[in-house]
Structure 1
Amino acid sequence: MKTPRKLFFHAPNVHVGGGLNLLQAFYDAAQSSIDFEQLDVRAKACLKPGRAERHWVRPTLFSRLAAEWRLRHKVKPGDIVLCFHGLVPLFPLKGQVTVFLQNRILLSSDSLQSYPLKTRVRLWGERLMLRSFARRVEKFVVQTPSMAEQVRGFLGDKTPVVVCPFVLADVDQAETPVEKIYDFVYVASAEPHKNHQKLIAAWCLLAEQGLRPSLALTVPFDTALSFQIEELKRTWKLNLFNLGQLSPDGVCALYDQSSALIYPSTTESLGLPLIEANSRQLPIIAAELDYVRDIVEPVHTFDPTSRTSIARAVRRHLGSSEPTQAIHGPDVFLREIMQ
């Protein structure tokens, strides 16, 4: 008699942000099918009890290695292993391995200089691990066509990639209209690729031009970025409101209180706030990048590396576009030189 296939769910280091939201959505749907699971201990309060054999993985090298070794010994031929954390198993496994890739940074050779040293070392190691062990994977699952293209560009044209996006079920909008408190909202954590620096620089430029639209942010408190936001807010008298990290219900309420979503992130595997805001009919002003147009049609776009471009997109949305530069003849240029 054939032994039934088991599903091994491996998700260390998935404990915050969009990754945690997707984990919760998947787990609610799949927990009755999971036979063995390894989860990040920092997500413990967010996950329901399941029927599977469960192991909590701590954010330490020893605990992560122990989890990899446990997989090595538990997985049998025919078993299915879903690596939800986006990395290839450290040791060869006897079962069928599927990797859910959510982190575009792992698929790029771009510089990591904007990240802290510890993070740079980790990301460099994870990139190397992905390249070195990709042949152990039966298939990679990604959320968008542009992400699939990037996987093949990084790992080779013959890499098996499946595009299968999924999100949390929609949360109902408020039954009664909610007062719009903020002109713009940006739901994002404090990682460098979220590009808060350029966004805030654009808000400073707008203030210099006499415009001070309100902007709500969700940067975790007690981070270097949160302190910088408060300092620039005071210096430029900006209408910035950092609300800190919010619960999913808190994020939904924030969308209802906002007139538009602005999204300057330089890299995303999906961009959940884009989907969430779009489902609530919020206008979207976003970076002109592939990941954005994979899933939404923004009303205005900008170059995310330019504070001027971001500021101009904001002005266009507010109906306050700046005049274009007048072009002169060589006689005017000569007069300028001779003054």
Structure 2
Amino acid sequence: MVLLDAIYINNSGGKVLLDYLIENLESSGMRVHYLLDSRVFQNHPIINSGNDVTYLKSGLRSRHAFYKENRNKFSKVLCFGNLPPSLKLNAEVSTYFHQQLFIKIPDDISLINKITIGIKMMVLHCIKKNTDRWIVQSENVRNGLSEKYNLKKETVQVIPFFPPLPPVDHIIKNKYKFVYISNVGTHKNHQRLIEGFCKFYDKFKIGELGLTISENATFEVELIKSLQQRGYPIINFGFIGRNELSEIYASSEFLVFPSLSESFGLGLVEAIDSGCKVIGADLPYTYAVCQPSITFNPFSVDEIAEAFEKSLKPDIKPTIAKVHNQIEILIKLLQ
């Protein structure tokens, strides 16, 4: 039996990938036991009655107790959440690593967040020998993970995967429509993006910026409302489903991606597949995924505004993708 341990995944891009992975495991006919975060209860694809599901509150203690009780039950294990098992198992263990913050902590985050991430990095150092292989989404992360945790490169495999967006018909791209599909987080860099767009709009009075910020991000939500009242064309779509997401990409000319740290950047891949040009941060994760149309320094509001300005020029080069969906390879690895 295969164990999919996704106890640390409950939202954002990780949840999108988890749902896609569950769908493919269920269609493969494999016998699977799922270890899931209690917050995704009844909020994931249908799991066949022949497979098992354990829901637990996310945490090191509850996860360790599960492994201690079931250490001899599984033949293969996929830890889909950066951390290998807390003890050595009698199974072939793969760990899917997709957290760039565990490789390099950005300077531009709070001290509390730095301490929290630092503790998680220490835990990872302590249990890194409990996995047989690591799987990552890009060559950039492979290099960083190997160097940071002193891993042999041959134990780290690059197997990117991502779900296709639902197809849409008869949608025309709106010129100078920019979108950034991302939840709020300090490293997601929304505030600089918004300030940069406003500077650009003050100068040219053209363009529209679409964001997907949930209502619980009260500071950003109120900031957008106040800017809307002042006439800035910033739209907050809030939390959206896959169908609406596909329509937004299809109608947008540009994806702006100012994140300070990404292991992959699912939005980059989705936007390229939807025919958007990418205005991306001049950081390694961008070039690992694509050849962007325009780049900028994501720490500089002025350079973000200048990137918007560059998009007004005719004959902007198209964005070229460098990665492709390899879900079949990942599933085969578990069979």
What's the TM-score once normalised by structure 2's chain length?
0.85
Question: Which of 12, 17, 21 is 1:17 aligned to?
Answer: 12
Q: Does 1:37 align with 2:34?
A: yes
Asked if the contact 1:182–1:257 (Cα under 8 Å) also holds between the matched residues in 2, the reply is no
Q: Return the offset for 1:311.
A: 1.0
Q: State the 1:205 CA deviation.
A: 1.7
In the alignment, is the contact (CA less than 8 A) between 1:141 and 1:163 conserved in 2?
yes
Could you tell which deviates more after superposition, 139-148 or 83-92? 83-92
Structure 1 runs not aligned, ≥5 long = 1-5, 321-339
Separation in 1, partners of 2:173, 2:281: 27
Partner of 2:63: 67
Count of paired positions: 308
Shift of 1:218: 0.3
Looking at CA atoms only, which structure, 1 or 2, has the larger radius of gyration? 1
* 1:227-285: CA deviation from partner (whole Å, max 9, x where unpaired): 222234435x3210011011111110111221211111111111111111111211111
Deviates more, 1:104-113 or 1:123-132: 104-113
CA separation of 1:208/1:175 partners in 2, compared to 1, >3 Å: closer, same or farther?
closer
Deviation at 1:121, TM superposition (A): 4.6
CA pair 233-127 structure 1, distance change in 2 beyond 3 A = farther
- 1:162-203 deviation per Cα after TM superposition (whole angstroms, max 9, x unaligned): 11111113432x222346387101100001111111101102
Kindly indicate whether the alpha-carbon contact (under 8 Å) linking 2:165 and 2:246 is maintained by their aligned counterparts in 1.
Answer: no
Considering fraction of residues, name the structure with more strand.
Answer: 2
What secondary structure is seen at the aligned counterpart in 2 of 1:97? strand
* 1:250 aligned partner: 244
Deviation, 1:67, is 3.1
Residue identity matched to 1:147: V
Instruction: Say if 2:87 and 2:130, in contact at 8 Å, map to a contact too.
Output: no
Aligned counterparts, 1:96-111, within 5 A: 96-111=92-107
Greater displacement, 21-30 / 181-190: 181-190
TM-fit CA distance, 1:77: 8.2
Shift of the 113–301 alpha-carbon distance from structure 1 to 2, 3 Å rule, reads: closer
Which consecutive residues of structure 2, in runs of 5 or more, have no partner in the other structure? 315-335
8 Å contact from structure 2 (residues 164, 270) kept in 1 = no
Shift of 1:157: 4.8
Which of these residues, 83, 86, 97, is aligned with residue 79 of structure 2?
A: 83
Q: How does 1:150-229 map to 2 (within 5 A)?
A: 150-158=144-152, 160-172=155-167, 174-178=168-172, 180=174, 183-223=177-217, 224-229=219-224
**Counterpart of 1:99 in 2: which secondary structure?**
strand
Report the residue type matching 1:140 in the other structure: W
Q: Which structure ranks higher in relative contact order (CA pairs < 8 Å, sequence separation ≥ 6)? A: 2
Alignment deviations for residues 298-330 of structure 1 (CA, whole Å, 9 cap, x no partner) = 11111111111111111111129xxxxxxxxxx
Q: Is the 8 A contact 2:109 2:187 kept in 1?
A: no
Alpha-carbon distance in 2 for matches of 1:71, 1:78: 10
CA separation of 1:66 and 1:93: change in aligned 2, threshold 3 A = same
Task: Say which is worse superposed, 28-37 or 14-23, in terms of deviation.
Answer: 28-37
Task: Give the conservation status (yes or no) of the 8 Å contact 1:82–1:99.
Answer: yes
> 1:10, 1:38 within 8 Å by CA — same for their partners in 2?
yes
- Counterpart code for 1:30: L
Q: Deviations over 1:125-147 (max 9, x none)?
A: 21111112112221110010001
Amino acid at match of 1:81: V
1:94 maps to what in 2? 90
Is the contact between residue 182 and residue 216 of structure 1 (CA under 8 Å) also seen in structure 2? no
Distance 1:294 1:131 in 2: 25
Q: Retained in 2: the 8 A contact 1:185–1:216?
A: yes
1:149 to 140, 143, 149: 143
Runs (4 or more) in structure 1 with deviation over 4 Å come to none
Q: In the superposition, relative to structure 1, how do residues 155 and 164 fare at CA in structure 2: closer, same or farther (>3 Å)? A: same
Question: Identical aligned pairs, as a percentage?
Answer: 22
Q: Is the 2:200–2:305 contact (alpha carbons within 8 Å) kept by the matching residues of 1?
A: yes
Partner of 1:337: none
Q: Which residue of 1 aligns with 2:57?
A: 58
Residues 35-63 of structure 1 deviation map (CA, whole Å, 9 limit, x = unaligned): 3221112223223123322111224x4xx
Q: Cα distance 1:109–1:218, how it changes in 2: closer, same or farther (>3 A)?
A: closer
Change in Cα spacing, 1:179 to 1:35, as seen in structure 2 (3 Å) is closer
**CA–CA distance in structure 2, aligned partners of residues 181 and 301 of structure 1:** 19
Contact 1:72–1:92 under 8 Å retained in 2: no
The answer as to whether partners of 1:207 and 1:238 remain within 8 angstroms in 2 is yes
The 2-side partners of 1:209 and 1:169 are apart by: 37
Q: Find the counterpart in structure 2 of residue 281 from structure 1.
A: 275
